[in-house]
Structure 1
């Protein structure tokens, strides 16, 4: 019998015509299903969007308060925050599985109540691809059952669309945008998107330079003075009034020259989700960069 890798589905022995689905989550826990789950609770927006992108939105029965895309999930019961969901409300929905972040404090309690929990927490582009593959394995079941779930989309197809969208966003940027120095604020503090984060990886794909050093981690909290000294060409933020709220920033070149992209709530919701809408996020960043490329220095004549 061939070995089974993480996230792959395989038939359980001695089950007759019933075949089990096995998924290994990001904790390394193996979760076994007698059949692909039909009632799913999602407590992380990126997982909600991924389930829907794979064509299984109709299996969702409840979501966390931050899951707002696609539009259809807004009609579902809201079960509180992803980190601290309403346990009783989750239990009342009788889900076949609860999808949650590894960091969700409620996971042990949900499992103690007899619920299956698959903990997945994408933070990088590679994570997003892997999560799509594991969710497809869970949703579709064994290869021999593929005809039963022909309405599902392939994780490979979804990932290829993300890749193609990101390539298209990068191709639209003018040549003078290459190497532009960018600071992306993800939260007041300022908290930054470092090069190791999925946002930082997208900036790299667009050919610009992230002023945050890689060794500080994916989402470090920085001293405002650090950003002031880094003096980025462009500031990106989804935070109200950012770029002006910290001491000294009003004198930063990017602020003085208006090279700030303040994304509204709808755009920010796209930008901070490591999931199927990363190509849309890349297009938003690319448009910001194209609109705010600093002018080239004048050519010196001799």
Structure 2
């Protein structure tokens, strides 16, 4: 009888073994959330450009991680991006639990926060972060009409955000509409097509994907561009992390 009761307790009580203690983060936008959850002490590996956890081991880039180095860290959880960035073949080689952090819209992002909270035994903090996010969304101001937007990802080749980009979710939540309707994350486009779409606002990012961009109005092929232009930090807009709420509110104020 005593043995049966012990077994019952094991099955009913939450197990600490169900949360993860050694984490390798292969997609930097997730790092900010892990830090906000208060679980940074669990991170043992990170990508080369991820500065959130400087004491964690550098395991290479998110597209070309050092698999043998990751194995040596003995992680019990890997936080990766899409299957395109971290293919299933690599996942099989590691034989470790992989969580796919790849939010495409605001609800996806909030769910990712809750998921990470559960995986890292920080459920209460995750729920608090989600509540705070939703509360800040109540500060959005209504607009008389949607603002037509195009978001430049890179100047050369000329590439813009498509419908599957988190940028589109930011624009829409702020009260705008992405003029590019292609169902892809990034879309190569011609200057002529952009002029034809006739946006109200042309946003261009500056960062690793678009280093030292020339202001659109100084480019000969945009001499006929009527839109207002806005330069933004790539980290603020193109990375699907907690920064998204600040980007939404900033755009909403600008649209107003």
SS of 1:131 mapped into structure 2: helix
Gap change, CA 1:66 and 1:159, over 3 Å in 2: farther
Query: What is the Cα deviation at residue 59 of structure 1?
Result: 1.0
Indicate conservation of the 8 Å contact 1:162/1:278, yes or no. Answer: no
RMSD: 3.0
Question: Structure 1 CA distance, aligned partners of 2:239 and 2:103?
Answer: 9
Q: 2:111 pairs with 110, 130, 146, which one?
A: 130
| Residues 262 and 121 of structure 1, relative CA distance in 2, 3 Å threshold | same
Unaligned runs of 5+ residues in structure 2 are 1-6
Establish whether residue 205 from structure 1 lines up as the match of residue 205 from structure 2: no
**Pairing partner for 1:224 from 170, 191, 195:** 191
Partners of 2:166 and 2:94 lie apart in 1 by 34
Q: In the alignment, which of 125, 131, 134 is matched to residue 154 of structure 1?
A: 125
**Is the contact made by 2:104 and 2:169 (CA closer than 8 Å) also made in structure 1?**
no
Q: Does 1:251 align with 2:217?
A: no
Q: Where do residues 212-291 of structure 1 align in structure 2 (5 Å cutoff)?
A: 212-213=180-181, 215-238=182-205, 239=210, 240-241=213-214, 243-244=216-217, 248-254=221-227, 259-263=228-232, 267-289=233-255
Structure with the bigger percentage of strand: 2
8 Å CA contact 1:193, 1:218 repeated in 2 = yes
> 2 CA distance for matches of 1:117 and 1:230?
40
Normalising by structure 1, what TM-score?
Answer: 0.69
Q: List gaps (5 residues or longer) in structure 1.
A: 1-12, 22-32, 141-148, 291-302
Q: Deviations over 1:207-243 (max 9, x none)?
A: 2232222x54443222221111112121111132252
| Greater displacement, 115-124 / 272-281 | 115-124
How far, CA to CA, are the matches of 1:15 and 1:81 in structure 2? Answer: 44
Using the TM superposition, give the Cα deviation of residue 42 of structure 1 relative to its aligned residue in structure 2, in angstroms: 0.4
Matched, 1:87 2:67: yes
- What does residue 67 of structure 1 align with? 50
- Say whether the 8 Å CA contact 1:224–1:247 is kept in structure 2: no
Deviates more, 1:279-288 or 1:95-104: 279-288
Instruction: State the shift of 1:60 in Å.
Output: 0.9
Match of 1:118 in 2: 99
Tell me the equivalent position of 1:54.
37
The Cα of 1:77 is off from its aligned counterpart by 2.2
> Where does residue 16 of structure 1 map in the other structure?
10
Structure-2 change in CA distance of 1:180 and 1:109 (3 Å): closer
| 2:26–2:47 CA contact under 8 A, matched in 1 | yes
Relative to the length of structure 2, the TM-score reads 0.80
Residues 196 and 167 of structure 1: is their aligned pair in 2 closer, same or farther, counting only changes over 3 Å? farther
Give the distance between the partners of 2:73 and 2:96, measured in 1 at CA: 11
Distance 1:14 1:112 in 2: 36
Determine whether 1:167 maps to 2:129: no
| Rounded Cα–Cα distance in structure 1 between residues aligned with 2:12 and 2:62 | 33
Going from structure 1 to structure 2, the CA distance change for 1:100 and 1:198 (only over 3 Å counts) comes to same
Please report how far the alpha carbon of residue 157 of structure 1 lies from its aligned counterpart in structure 2 after TM superposition: 2.1
CA distance in 2, matches of 1:207, 1:113: 43
Q: Is residue 163–residue 183 contact of structure 2 (8 Å, CA) maintained in 1?
A: no
Is 2:47 the partner of 1:100?
no
Contact 1:234 1:289 in 2 (8 A): no
